[in-house]
Amino acid sequence: MNSKVIVITGASSGIGASLAKQLGANNNMLVLAARREHELNQVAKQSGSHALPVICDVTKRQDIENLRDAALAEFGRIDVWVNNAGRGIGIKVLDLSEEDFNQIIDINLRSAFYGMQAIVPYFQKQIKGHLINISSFLSRVPLLTFRSIYSAAKAALNSLTANLRMDLSANYPDIHISLVMPGPVATDFAKKAIGGTPALLPGASPLKAQSADEVAAVIVDVINTPRPEVFTQPILAEIAGKYYQDVAAFEQNMRSRR
């Protein structure tokens, strides 16, 4: 993979941190964004000699635009933008407060929307670029109902991503728009979820958690070989397919396992 200038939000831990380290090892130039300054600086130090940390609240449009401008000021161009920042929730639909709802929408959907509007016009001017939105398998299948508004926000992100890709496809064939959908990942995501994460019953999920490094490796591959949508575990596509083929049968099977 040729050296690229890559912006990553949510880079202070989890998938974002793993992605930064893998890309930095390949001599890419990185702009790493997060709110936690100490953690972000540590990741930047571990991500090669060309990693710029930028303190950024992704729920604020101006911060996202400042992030773009900082990347351009430091490296003169941007090749790839990864909307990775996100946060989970452990509250079912009828128990959600308005504050819960708004916070999850802001972090998981609005932040990516701001990122798309900040970077894609720049990509249009240079007639090339690659936007990657990190979604979730839960955006396709209601496997964990307590993720509720998180899953809904990611489903909305899927739709925005697909519509943007279609808008650009005719006139900008060298602007790639990708959606990456991980399943369970062994990070602190569950611990940091609003409302915590309920304990799962044995056998409640057929999915084994991937490591953040495994998911990051898939994203690196998407950067190297752009494609529209990727499930990070092969079984995820199979499960999603079964769900959409017969929603009633799938949901009945899930209820019988509880």
**What pairs with residue 181 in β-bridges?**
231
- Give 198: exposed, middle or buried? Use CB within 10 Å, 0-12, 13-18, 19+: middle
- CA–CA distance, 219 with 111 (Å, rounded to integer): 19
**DSSP-derived 3-state class of residue 225:** coil
Please return the burial class of 223, using the count of CB atoms within 10 Å of its CB with bins 0-12, 13-18 and 19+.
buried
52, 31 contact by CB (below 8 A): yes
CB 47, CB 20: distance < 8 Å: yes
How close are the terminal C-alpha atoms of the chain, in Å? 46
CA 135 to chain centre: 5
Q: Which of 114, 150, 243, 244 is catalytic?
A: 150
Active site includes 150?
yes
- How far is it, in rounded angstroms, from Cα 25 to Cα 68? 23
203: left (phi over 0), alpha (psi -120 to 50) or beta: left
Q: Which residues are catalytic?
A: 150
